[in-house]
Structure 1
Amino acid sequence: MTVERFSLIELVEDLCVAKGVPFKPMRIASDIMTTDVKILTLDHTIMSFLQYMDVYKIRHAPVFDPPIEKGQKPYFVGVVSQRDVLRLLPPYGTKTAREGQSLKELQKRLSLIVTRKPICALPQTPVPGLIALMLDNHIDMLPIFSDSELKGIVTTIDIIKLFDRLKNAIHMLHPQLKKQTLPVALPPADSPETQLLFTWLTETVQNIMTREVASLQPNHTLADAMQLMQKRKCSHVSITDEEGKLNGIVSDRDILEQLPSTSCRPPLPSKKFREHLFDVDPKAPCLNFPLSHIMAWKVIHILPDCLVTDVAKMLQRGKMNCCPVLDNEKKLLGIVTGSDIMRTLLAAYQSKEKT
């Protein structure tokens, strides 16, 4: 007897076709990538990239080598990120940029910090493959190439947006599941397919959050946070008091804004998480800064019964990378990161037995 298997994505697509519900495919890179990509060249300056980020509200950009002769196409060199820029500039680099200071640093060219030969993908790369590439290599953006031509990019936000697309499709298929207060369970008469859709819609963050949170106390130092991030391969450290209540959060970007400027990116790829970004003189005074001086105090947080679909939308709209999970007494229970959301989405692509 042959056992029929299906995935949540296949189920939603089949149901949408059968019921005439519009649903944009989300199987491969070309289905989900951003195609209106603004590019920069090696001749652009740090100031150009800062302006680029402000205008387009992004943190990464593909970088091309401009053609030397007429008729030649630009040559793809690599990518540059906000983290790279923060590491190149002196402390509070973005703030000085807005004030028109540090002109010498701001006029440096992107050729100093571009990540060359980055990991790329093809338009036909399956979405689970994209997620795996991003998670395994700790990257937030993948250039999508075909025949040496940039077709688009896929970012973590593009991946997280898929949650909203799935939720909207399911609501159109089953309007009864759109109620603000969902029932604890569906009637037994409902089909297994409807039960699966309901289960996916009502998944809560307590089932997917990272429970072993990287955390320190306010009196710990910037050096402590850097060491913990590298050990845990994470981009955020939660700051708690002695009772485990959340005080704030420190991101790797917060740290980079405090480090002294570096001359350029090293020629070889990093072997350790954030190796080149956290490469600093061990005697640098900033390493002794207490985290209470640099952490974000006002942190958006959620309760453990928050729906995964809701927190995914929260991260997408706020372009946030994480959200702490607290109990009613403000004690830290866990954290939901963009990586947690992407791992959860992988389950929607995994095949299950059809009963």
Structure 2
Amino acid sequence: MDDIISGQALFLFLCFILLCFLIFTTAISRRRSSRGASTLPPGPPRLPIIGNIHLVGKNPHCSFADLSKTYGPVMSLKLGCLNSVVISSREAAREVLRTHDQILSGRFVNEALRSINHHDFSVAYLHPSSPRWRLLRKISVTQLFSPQRIEATKTLRMKKVQELINFVSESSEREEAVDISRASFVTALNIISNLLFSVDLGNYDSRNSSVFQNMVTGIMASAGAPDIANFFPFLRFLDLQGNVKKFKGCSERLFKVFRGFYDARITENSARTDDRDVSSSDFLDALIDLNQGDEAELNIIQIEHLLFDLFTAGTDTN
């Protein structure tokens, strides 16, 4: 009997602590909101704790469009602890994306990305005025996206597309079903892996491609999934939906693949007795050159995160 009473008392005490914590955080949130309310656009009334989350619905774009009819093309929403400004007209979007693009070019960093500090290294999240962003952009443009490089890799891309066509044709002759999603992923995987590492990482008849596909889709799904910690940061340590755990697991496996290619190339270059053929160099060679010497422009962590950006963007076919 005493154990039951003690258990009930402990439960009530924990509920009391939680209630006090919620009241405290709500009071702080309201105080901050009142200070910044004069600088925010108009928006719908907010509920305690959740703000305007209940107004978002299953189709946020439709909900935002409906709300904009009442509160205008530029409105503010309180999503948990997060202040958001919604732009829903062509004129306002032009003002944001063109006239004030430098000021408003930052991106929200969710908990999944924050778990591996990707925002500190990613060309997609660094501010365009930072020297590091300019360096990463310069490397990407000169080594991958310049007209000369695009023309030089045209034969490679055509070869990989032809391999896809041959696979579909052969499967048709055998009257076998083709998983188009997986086949297109293998094609994209082999194109980007050849551009970066000069190897095929995928095979239409191999399960290895599925492993890479699961890694990429796992990264994209966990990074893009709604996460309660993004709206209530004080809950981040709980990882209630498991997004952070899944994202970190997939990312670490991908980083391990990159580190393996990097170490193997370093070993290969060290064992080389003749000069390297510059015409056959790939993106990894260019990164290694920037990592060597006393005045290295990139460290191994920056290289891994740059490869992470390019690899996931280049192979995500969803």
- Specify the TM-score bucket, using the shorter chain as the normaliser: under 0.3
The TM-score normalised by the length of structure 1 is: 0.25
More helix by share: 2
Larger Rg: 2
Q: TM-score, normalised by structure 2?
A: 0.27
